[in-house]
Structure 1
Amino acid sequence: MKTILAYGDSLTFGANPTGGVRHGYADRWPSVLEAGLAGKARVIAEGLGGRTTVSDDWYANADRNGARILPTLLESHSPLDLVVIMLGTNDLKPAICGSALEASFGMRRLVQIIRGHYAGRGETTPEILLIAPPLICQSENQDMMGHFGGFAHGLEQSSQLAVHYARRAEELDTGFFDASTVAVADPEDGVHLDAKNTRAIGEGLVPVVTSMLGL
């Protein structure tokens, strides 16, 4: 059986935009992906709200810097056959980074960390799949829109993630998937997904992961 690490932020955690802390286990995309692989792989979900690719966020009591915590997770969950990374939305906050291009450079750094980690151990490096998150949408939630410098900035930058991530995937020879092709954010807060759209990401990933791992 293959082992997959799903590394992400609140969208991987399964944050519910309309009330309640989290979607049920069966509705989270890592769970849907595992179910779709029909016993051929297990998917370890590592989602943290607010997580960035490589930047610090001093507003939280948890370490949201994805580059700093990743080596620990690789160590604790190895051996791995595939690491799926869906990060970058939080990088778009002007107080954090504010740029889709810079978020793609953060994803590059995460790929380097993964490959360096396994090279240092003399072990086989897992396959890597980069995912561009769904687009930010218009919302009356002023606090959430304010995090992203307003809707216009959030939409402009989130709409560039797929282009930059596809370029990084080609550069780094990784897999690539654009989650905006299967899922849309909920207008309740403009960022997070309802249960249907959260499941859609897992469903959309099944053929991609099946192909990458030869399942």
Structure 2
Amino acid sequence: MKTVLCYGDSLTWGYKPDGSGRHALADRWPQVLQAELGNGGHVVADGLNGRTTAFDDHLSGFERNAAKTLTTALGTHFPLDLVIIMLGTNDMKTFICGNALGTRRGMQRLIEIVRTAPYQLGVKAPDILIMSPPPLGETDGPEFRLVFEQGIEQSRLLAAFYEDAARQADCAFFDAGSVAKTSSVDGVHLDADNTRAIGKAIAPIVRGILDI
């Protein structure tokens, strides 16, 4: 059985746009992917609210910088056949990065980490699928609007930047914004239909990568 690690932020964790909690397990995209793969694959979901590609968030009690924590996840769950990374939304916060080029460089660093992690027992590095998150949207909600106000336009550049980074690194790429859009409730997170759509859309891609 092939093992897939889905490494992301609140869009992977399943944060509800109205802030009322977490989507049901069956509605989160990693679990939808698991259902689509059936017995051919084992999907491990690792989503942390607020996680960034490679930037510190000193306002959080959790370590949200993926460049500092990804090796731990890789070591915890190895051997892995595929790592799917969907990050970048939180980089768009004005006080974090707020710049798509900086976020691209953060994603390139994560690709580097997956490729060079100190795997044990002769295990080779897993394949990588980079996903650009759906672009941020306009919202009347004051908190998210102010936090992300300078990142909305930048977030629309991520898909092209990530696709180019994936091509250069010989990774697979998928634009989650091609099948899902953020909720107008907060302009950041996904409703159940949209998070499910991501899991269904990437299933054929994952099958092709893993040959299952």
Query: Is the TM value for this pair above 0.5?
Result: yes
Question: Shorter-normalised TM-score: what interval?
Answer: over 0.9
Q: Which amino acid aligns with 1:103?
A: T
Structure 1 stretches lacking a partner, 5+ long: none
Residue 199 of structure 2 is aligned to residue 191 of structure 1: no
Contact persistence 1:118–1:124 (CA under 8 A): no
- The match for 1:99 is 99
Q: Write the distance in 2 (CA, Å) between the matches of 1:203 and 1:135.
A: 19
Residue 133 of structure 2 is aligned to residue 154 of structure 1: no
Contact persistence 2:5–2:44 (CA under 8 A): yes
Q: Write the distance in 2 (CA, Å) between the matches of 1:146 and 1:49.
A: 18
Q: Which amino acid aligns with 2:206?
A: V
How do 1:4-153 and structure 2 match up within 5 A?
Answer: 4-118=4-118, 122-148=122-148, 150=149, 153=150
Pick closer, same or farther for the CA change 1:108–1:194 going to 2, 3 Å.
same
Higher alpha-carbon deviation: 28-37 or 92-101? 92-101
Identity %: 49
Q: Write the distance in 2 (CA, Å) between the matches of 1:143 and 1:199.
A: 26
User: Once superposed, what is the RMSD of the aligned Cα atoms?
Assistant: 1.2
Higher alpha-carbon deviation: 19-28 or 194-203? 19-28
Structure 2 stretches lacking a partner, 5+ long: none
Pick closer, same or farther for the CA change 1:29–1:209 going to 2, 3 Å.
same
SS at 2:38 equivalent: coil
1:116 shift after superposition: 0.7
How many residues matched?
212
Contact persistence 2:94–2:151 (CA under 8 A): no
SS at 1:39 equivalent: helix
SS at 2:39 equivalent: coil
Contact persistence 1:7–1:83 (CA under 8 A): yes
Contact persistence 1:6–1:30 (CA under 8 A): yes
Q: Write the distance in 2 (CA, Å) between the matches of 1:121 and 1:17.
A: 42
Query: TM-score, normalization: structure 1?
Result: 0.96
1:18 shift after superposition: 2.1
- The match for 1:212 is 209
Q: Write the distance in 1 (CA, Å) between the matches of 2:208 and 2:174.
A: 13
1:145 shift after superposition: 1.2
Query: TM-score, normalization: structure 2?
Result: 0.97
Pick closer, same or farther for the CA change 1:172–1:119 going to 2, 3 Å.
farther
Contact persistence 1:131–1:179 (CA under 8 A): yes
Residue 166 of structure 2 is aligned to residue 175 of structure 1: no
Q: Write the distance in 2 (CA, Å) between the matches of 1:123 and 1:42.
A: 17
Contact persistence 1:30–1:44 (CA under 8 A): yes
Pick closer, same or farther for the CA change 1:95–1:115 going to 2, 3 Å.
same
